[in-house]
Copies of this chain bind each other. A is one copy, B any other.
Amino acid sequence: MATQIQRSNQTQQQLLAATERLLAEQGYAAVSEARICELANLTRGALRHHYPNGRYDLLPVLVERLIARQSELIAAAQPQNPLERIYLMLFGLLDAPIQSDTVAILEVWMAARGDAKLGERINPIMNSAIERLFGMTSATPADPDALALRCLLHGACMHCYSVDYDRNALVAAIQWVLEKLPPPAGFVERLQMEQAA
């Protein structure tokens, strides 16, 4: 009954969602076409139809979408420099300490080291992500504060898989940082004004 385009979009969406879940919950090494299809209730025929080269076609699309989604969320708050962007993401971590999309990106990024073919296709996207997410261009070197908080952000995202993970403890840790290293003056106020508008 559904149009072909709708069908296509839906199965692609299911495949991407299943892959994201696998990446976030089980890690890259646990990602196989069979498992993706099992989770998506599809067959490898469907996967290979939409992504002829398997993960090498699927993962770039997935990562691209995850970055696009994140990037739009950030852009909505109209940050004016890299530092403000990082603070936005840290705020996001307070609401949802388990950031499965960020974890998925990190997993693919780390896995691409050991797979040249994957690196070829992922690294350009990762490169663009630096600018689209963090607003850092290769021309202007990163400020120490922005880079430090970026490291903190990534470490915090991974922490939810630690054996001693405690949601409240992690939130308290981020809050402690936000208190000791507060965002640029007036930033929070501007956010609230934009929210109201």
Using a CB–CB cutoff of 8 Å, the interface residues on chain A facing chain B are 25-30, 106-107, 109-111, 113-115, 123, 126-127, 130, 136, 138, 141-142, 144-145, 147-148, 150-156, 158-159, 161-164, 166, 169-170, 172-177, 180-181
Q: Give CA–CA (A154, B172) in the complex, Å.
A: 18
Chain B residues with CB under 8 Å of A113's CB are: 25-27, 30, 161
Q: Give CA–CA (A52, B159) in the complex, Å.
A: 32
Chain B residues with CB under 8 Å of A30's CB are: 113-115
A169 near B181 (CB under 8 angstroms)? no
Q: Give CA–CA (A111, B23) in the complex, Å.
A: 10
Specify which of B107, B138, B141, B173 is in contact with A144 (CB 8 Å cutoff): B173
